[in-house]
A and B are shown apart, each in its own frame.
Chain A
Amino acid sequence: MPIKTVYTAQIDHLQILDENGVLDEKLAKDTLTDDQVRYLYEFMITCRTLDEVAFKLQRSGRMGTYPQNKGQEANAIGSGFAAKKGVDFLVPCYRENAALFLHGLPMHYILLHWMGDERGNQIPEGVNMTPLSIPIGTQMLHATGIAWAFKLRKEARVAITYFGDGATSEGDFHEAMNFASTLQVPVVFYCQNNQWAISVPRENQMNSETVAQKAIAYGMPTIQVDGNDLFAVYKATRDAVERARAGGGPSFIEAVTYRLADHTTADDARRYRDPNEVEAWMGKDPIIRLRKFLEGKGLWNADLQAAHEEKSRAIVAEVIKTAEGIAKPSTDDIFDFTYATLPAELEAQKRTMRTASLAQEPQQAGLNNPVNA
């Protein structure tokens, strides 16, 4: 019997706006209008400002560990803009702040979260997102479950879940991809391949040429895009979201991007990264190419830039003021938020904060204790 080829595959790479700000007009057709690009560019600057100020807040002891988004903003903004606000659901990890803001999360919530306050994850009514998921990969399964609920309830919604290249080594990734494609649920897997899983480079994490090809094994449409190109990110995500909404099941997007900053404020990437590599990616910054594009069209100039940077600083100052102005959480919260209904045992602990041994003062703890009755 001759050997037959039973399967072949290819991975397409999509770039529409190159690093010099040159747009492929044909591919850009029916993507973003000039007004939208300008609005999203301004938004990107504000998010970058917040990101840099957040770093300083950590360094000055006003905030806990923080993972900077710097350099990856086109991913969050392009994909977030492609999803329907108030309809679709974002299921994030922790490096896509801008998408959450686009969908209505007030900026101070992110600061509140990283200041160590669970109330930063009390998502306001009407904002469709789940709390930040810090364990790697966990949230992809949650997104698949949420998408399953959409399907079961016959709701025309789509879940987009975000994760990094590092998360694709987790079992959760493979299990979520397998479930999503087997059940054909409306979920978009958005991988921000920022080249580094903390200090481990992509080529040491996997032996595949691309991350995108991992989706082929799950029979899922997959594409690689330039993650620093707002147009490519928007187009790929919009196509995936539309496909999912129309009943076409899940899709995978590998967005090639770069973490310009450290993994988190607890990390110092200078110890393991080649400065030349970082330097090269600085030139591919999504902000730089968008500015070139807008300036080339006569839609932007130095004065507008200065004015918007000033405005962004004012917005961010106000955001910090709001976050820092929120009263510290009460000790009641740790008991009240553990169960839907406070159990009697916790009720007693709540009143006394005597978690170690209720025997010390059982009557003080208010227990219905027949021995001491």
Chain B
Amino acid sequence: MPAFELPTVDFSKPLPSRDGTRLIQFREALREAMSEEMRRDPRVFLMGEEVAEYHGAYKVSQGMLEEFGPKRIIDSPISENGFAGMAVGAAMYGLRPIIEFMSWSFSLVAADPILNNVPKMLYMSGGQWGCPVVFRGNDGAGGQLGSTHSWCVEGLYANVPGVKIVIPSNPYDAKGLLKTAIRDDDPVFFLESERMLGDKAHVPEEEYYIPFGQARVAREGDDCTLVSFGRPVNFCLEAAAELENDRISVDVLDMRTIRPLDIDSILTSLRKTNRLVVVDQCWPFASIASEVVTQVCERGFDWLDTPPVRVNTEDVPTPYAKGLEYAYLPNKDKIAAAVRKTLG
């Protein structure tokens, strides 16, 4: 098959400043990342429900049909298993599909391609057939969508080796991480949040790539290490601001990727604070938070002054009612209480 190679991404290049006045929405940052990569690489295409004529159910792909045409921005039938499976074939033949799940909740009907083909194809072909597909879409509760449409898939899918899982918490990271995901030679699950698509922040116009497996220190402090990823990072920052009033200062680590997991940054912070709270919007049982706590106990037990605390959702199906959904999710108050608990 015809070769089309791009130079390897140079991650040694310093990232542009996060400060600035180019305020754009999270959804625009995602669009910018996809569009920049599609202009560079004719192998990249976007497929999913409503991505073309309707500009995406959440308007992430606004204007992309007009720029790239119907052969690269493709409205699919309502057939998640179908387009996820097709993406496997297209990637095996050298294309770089971006597959949009309107919600990651709908990816459950595509379990065979995304869990049984994509992560294993390279392995089962003795290193020959990679599947560089980016699957992206909305993940997590908070929009009062009811239990079946509010899945947090990271806890479920992170168990499977062979994929990379990316979960940004802000527009700046969304752009840099999605660009890295599209350039990556492995399959990537990219988890967005419908609740954050309208969030605005400075996003540099220039191109930049954020390496996977490198947490960001979102706030510095000495008393406790707060570890989170995705939307709850923002709740951690709210809690940290409130705790500051009581002269409690915390490190907030935004993991940015779950696989690979930057456990070293967590351990570095722990050496300073000796206390740990992990905030995770998935159910508590066998969650990412559980994994973080386990690895910390295995590798940093002596640095813990108090037992680590997890803040997950309640261990029940996601409630539909607004008040109940809020009560079920991690929030600022639960996080602040958890930090106080570690401090005794």
Contacts and interface: CB of A to CB of B under 8 A. Distances in A.
Nearest to B116: A135
Contacts of B300: 371
Contact of B299 (A120, A153, A371): A371
Interface residues of B, number: 59
A201 interface: no
Contacts of B93: 89, 145-146, 149-150
Interface stretch (B29-37, B122-130, B228-236, B307-315): B122-130
B146 interface: no
A301 to B, nearest CB: 44
A371 B302 contact: yes
Given A148-B86, A369-B264, 10 more contacts: A130-B89, A145-B90, A145-B92, A150-B93, A172-B112, A337-B126, A338-B162, A340-B186, A357-B298, A371-B299
B95 interface: yes
B185 interface: yes
B186 A176 contact: no
Given A359-B299, A362-B299, A371-B271, A131 B89 contact: no
Interface stretch (A12-20, A46-54, A74-82, A341-349): A341-349
B82 interface: yes
A185 to B, nearest CB: 9
A100 interface: no
A368 B85 contact: no
Contacts of A357: 298
A142 B112 contact: no
Interface of A: 89, 91, 118-123, 130-131, 135, 138, 140-150, 152-153, 159, 171-172, 175-176, 178-179, 182, 333-334, 336-341, 343-345, 357-359, 362, 367-372
Interface in B75-105: 76-77, 79, 81-95, 97
B239 to A, nearest CB: 26
A178 B90 contact: no
Contacts of B88: 141-142, 145
B303 A131 contact: no
B62 interface: no
Contact of A371 (B91, B125, B127, B303): B303
A175 B122 contact: no
Given A145-B90, A152-B45, A345-B260, A339 B125 contact: no
Nearest to A134: B124
Nearest to A178: B77
